[in-house]
Amino acid sequence: MPLKYLTQPQLASFFSHINSPRDRALFVVIYHYGLRVSEATRLKLTDVDFEQQTITFHRLKGGNGGQRPLLANTQQALVAYLPTRQPTGDGLFTGRQGNLGRHQIYGLFKRYAQRAGLGEYSVHCLRHSIATHLLEAGLEIDLVKDHLGHRNLQSTLIYAQITDKRRREAFFRIEHSQAVVKLNER
């Protein structure tokens, strides 16, 4: 079964349908850092350090967590959200009755995906999307591995198989290299 990910236009459509500062910040963080939903639910308010410009993750499945740079767009989304944050829990993302849970996040994603006309996607597609988008942008596979917190490169290689753009670019480089015999020259 092929991995489902959002194209850049689909991702833009998805985010254009999110009006809530909390939900925008939530899905920006999930997408930018390739988080699993359970990893997003484990984020605490104290994991974001605006002074040091970092965010700390606690990866699941034995993944490599730790501090990452706080991206400018992520910071912007969090700054818009935090004044509206409900003080009902210690999590970064809270609702009226406490920290947001997995099922609440799944439901929010489904609502926005339907509004954007995206069809049957799960929130996990945001993780697949960032991996694919990073590879399409030319990031090396080992850096994508680190970004997703994978311990094993094999876990990351599945994303390299779905990026046709990178495959076409590689063949184009081969075609124009000295390694290919030019058949039309004598």
| Contact between residue 55 and residue 49 where contact means Cβ atoms under 8 Å apart | yes
- Provide the 3-class DSSP secondary structure of residue 94: strand
User: Active-site residue 61, yes or no?
Assistant: yes
Please give the Cα distance from 42 to 65 (Å, whole number).
12
Quickly state the pLDDT bin for 186 (edges 50, 70, 90): very low
User: Active-site residue 36, yes or no?
Assistant: yes
Report which of residues 12 and 163 the model is more confident about.
12
| Contact between residue 42 and residue 92 where contact means Cβ atoms under 8 Å apart | no
Neighbours of 38 (CB within 10 A): 14
Please give the Cα distance from 135 to 159 (Å, whole number).
8
Q: How many residues does the chain have?
A: 186
User: Active-site residue 85, yes or no?
Assistant: no
Quickly state the pLDDT bin for 4 (edges 50, 70, 90): confident
User: Active-site residue 127, yes or no?
Assistant: yes
Question: Which residue is catalytic, options 36, 42, 128, 133?
Answer: 36
Question: Which residue is catalytic, options 22, 42, 59, 127?
Answer: 127
Quick: pLDDT tens for 94-125. Answer: 999 999 999 999 999 999 999 999 989 999 99
Give pTM, 2 decimals: 0.84
Task: Please state the CATH superfamily assignment of the domain spanning residues 1-186 in this structure.
Answer: Intergrase catalytic core (1.10.443.10)
Question: Which residue is catalytic, options 4, 68, 110, 124?
Answer: 124
